[in-house]
């Protein structure tokens, strides 16, 4: 069974094209030289009940994979929009072969553009809600 620590670590260790720096935890600040920057945040999970009739099942583990792309107000909106869309493709390409390695079972995910705030600065971002089993 995959532990929460392994799930977060395995997700954060994905090799995603275009990522300059990967953090082991949500960063307290970002440098322009480190962008695009990746981290995992908000892990959560659930497990079925353990009873005499059933031993429960594999846990369901969820977390957000965040890639801060560019500070809002830097570059141009068109470049940031197209860059984050391209990053969405890169994330999907990294997750497809990761099935069975991030967790023991299947992975599902939802990818979206968004804004993340780090140290009071807003960044264009790609946020991926990842769910795994096992």
Confidence grade of residue 64 (pLDDT, cut at 50, 70, 90): very high
3: Cβ–Cβ under 8 A, 6 or more apart, which residues? none
Please report the DSSP string for 9-32 in residue order: HHHHT---TT--EE-SS--S---G
Q: Total structural domains in the chain?
A: 1
**For position 41, which CATH number holds?**
3.30.2000
Average pLDDT over residues 101-116: 92
Strands 37-46 and 21-22: parallel
Is residue 79's pLDDT more than 80? Answer: yes
- The pTM for the full model equals 0.90
The pLDDT of residue 52 is above 80: no
As a whole number of angstroms, the distance between CA 112 and CA 19 comes to 17
- Which domain covers residue 28, as residue numbers? 4-133
């Amino acid at each position: 069974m995959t532990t929460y620590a392994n799930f977060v670590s395995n997700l954060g260790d994905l090799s995603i094209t275009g990522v300059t720096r990967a953090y082991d935890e949500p960063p307290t600040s970002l440098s322009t030289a480190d962008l695009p920057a990746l981290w995992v945040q908000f892990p959560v999970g659930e497990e079925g009940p353990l009873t005499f009739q059933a031993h429960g099942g594999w846990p369901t583990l969820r977390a957000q994979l965040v890639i801060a792309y560019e500070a809002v107000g830097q570059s141009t909106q068109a470049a940031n929009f197209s860059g984050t869309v391209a990053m969405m493709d890169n994330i999907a390409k990294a997750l497809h072969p990761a099935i069975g390695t991030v967790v023991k079972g299947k992975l599902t995910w939802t990818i979206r553009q968004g804004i993340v705030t780090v140290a009071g600065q807003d960044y264009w971002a790609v946020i991926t809600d990842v769910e795994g089993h096992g």
